[in-house]
Chain A
Amino acid sequence: MAPFKSESNPSETGQEQEAKVLKRLQAGDERAFETLYERHMPPVYRYALRMTGSPADADDVVQELFLALIRDARGYDPARGELRSYLYGMARRLILRRLPAETATEEEPPEPGVKDDPFERLDLEQRLGLVRMAVAALPATYREVVALCDLEELSYEDAATTLGCAVGTVRSRLHRARAMLLNRMERRKCGTA
């Protein structure tokens, strides 16, 4: 992640600069707030929107997250990673609190392989609608890896930091999530055709 333009100091890492801006925010500096909000609100909002599927819930998540940051951000340690990952982690906790409880997501049987292209003969709107519904129907454990890795384009390492799990777990969940998506889209396409 590129360092802040106004804060650039060759001897400081991006994390240190962000920690400084965060400190200024805690002191009530409005410019620091604007800097952090401009930089981190869009990805956090998109992540919340993709996870909850509701713009109102995504608004609430963004507001709660930044309020917590303004009131007390002492939980962020620049040595442990980027502020972005920390914010994704905070957003994830807020999002999971809003999602209905799911049971036994890890115990689902493996999805059968899909040979036919489920997107064949579909126009853009249909494709988007199909994939949007399939992502929304995924269990939260799999939806979050798709949201982070495929939609937000985070690296496996960053996603693992955000989710608090190993990189291998992220890989396997993503592989499984894609298989589930294809399978569900195939079924839905057959059902709607």
Chain B
Amino acid sequence: MRNGMKGNPEESLLRALAELADETGLGMAPERVRQRLRYEVRAKAHRRWAIAGLAAAAVLSAIVFGITTRSGLSVASPHPQAVAQGNRAPVTSTAPPAPVASAVHKPELQAAVRTPAANPEPGSARLPLPSNPKRGKGIRPPTAAGDWRRGEVVLSPWYFNTALPPSARSVMVRSEVDARTAMRFGVVSAGGTAPVEILFGEDGLPRAMRFVRRLPVQQN
């Protein structure tokens, strides 16, 4: 509409609205909004990878557990506190660090779930609590079970699958996750991998897991 032009009020209004639309048509949110949203997308992607990494580690640990129990391999080192009652020695895997998730084979996983544990004696299973409160929460004294267990600190366990029925027997399996995955859970690992212990019930399903921190070797 031109200045001083007289016309229909309704048409003039529509023209004025069109001018207003043109004037505000290039409005954009500032770059900081985009940056904030970008950060959220990245954080979401990282969370997904962390969960996928842990899930892969748990599945691979189950496979290792299944292979170990089926093939009757010798127990590398018993975990003295994995079984709260009785004097049973659960199976512990000495498998190498977990390979990539694409190596998972379903038949092996099913076998791991269905295969009964090596020790037939009944009992109850709980994750170990510190035997001596003076030592501090979650800290386990070095044992003579194997050199690799010396100088380690067991971190607080994370329980999952709490909806599952209680397991009469359980087995602690040691595996490793890569350092980046461990970092996402707040565990810093000096090497390329971080050891984890996963507690399996007799049904082959994981009940809990915890990270293990290696302490620096002391020279006496």
**Which positions in A face B, CB cutoff 8 Å?**
25-30, 33, 37, 41-42, 45-46, 49-50, 55, 58-59, 62-63, 66-67, 70-71, 114-124, 127-128, 130-132, 135, 146, 150-153, 178, 181-182, 185
Contacts and interface: CB of A to CB of B under 8 A. Distances in A.
9 closest A-B pairs by CB: A28-B45, A131-B16, A62-B29, A151-B21, A28-B44, A150-B17, A119-B12, A33-B41, A45-B29
A115 B46 CA distance: 63
Contacts of B21: 150-153
Tier of interface size on chain B:
35 or more
A184 B42 CA distance: 48
Chain B residues touching A, majority SS = helix
Nearest to A149: B17
Nearest to A130: B16
B27 interface: yes
B25 interface: yes
A121 B3 contact: yes
Interface in B18-49: 18-21, 23-25, 27-30, 33-34, 36-38, 40-42, 44-48
Given A41-B29, A67-B40, A135 B9 contact: no
B8 interface: yes
B36 A182 contact: no
Contacts of A151: 17, 20-21, 24
A46 B20 contact: no
Nearest to A124: B19
B53 to A, nearest CB: 14
A67 B37 contact: yes
Chain A residues touching B, majority SS = helix
A45 to B, nearest CB: 5
B4 interface: yes
Given A28-B44, A118-B9, A127-B1, A62 B20 contact: no
B31 to A, nearest CB: 11
B95 interface: no
A49 B24 contact: yes
B76 interface: no
A151 B19 CA distance: 9
A116 B8 CA distance: 8
B13 A131 contact: yes
Given A120-B5, A131-B17, 6 more contacts: A27-B48, A29-B45, A33-B41, A59-B30, A124-B19, A150-B18
A117 B25 contact: no
Given A28-B48, A46-B24, A119-B16, A33 B9 contact: no
A114 B10 CA distance: 9
A123 B4 CA distance: 8
A72 B17 CA distance: 36
B135 interface: no
21 contacts: A28-B44, A29-B45, A30-B38, A33-B41, A41-B29, A46-B25, A62-B29, A63-B29, A70-B40, A71-B40, A116-B9, A117-B8, A120-B4, A135-B17, A135-B20, A150-B21, A151-B20, A151-B24, A181-B13, A182-B10, A185-B13
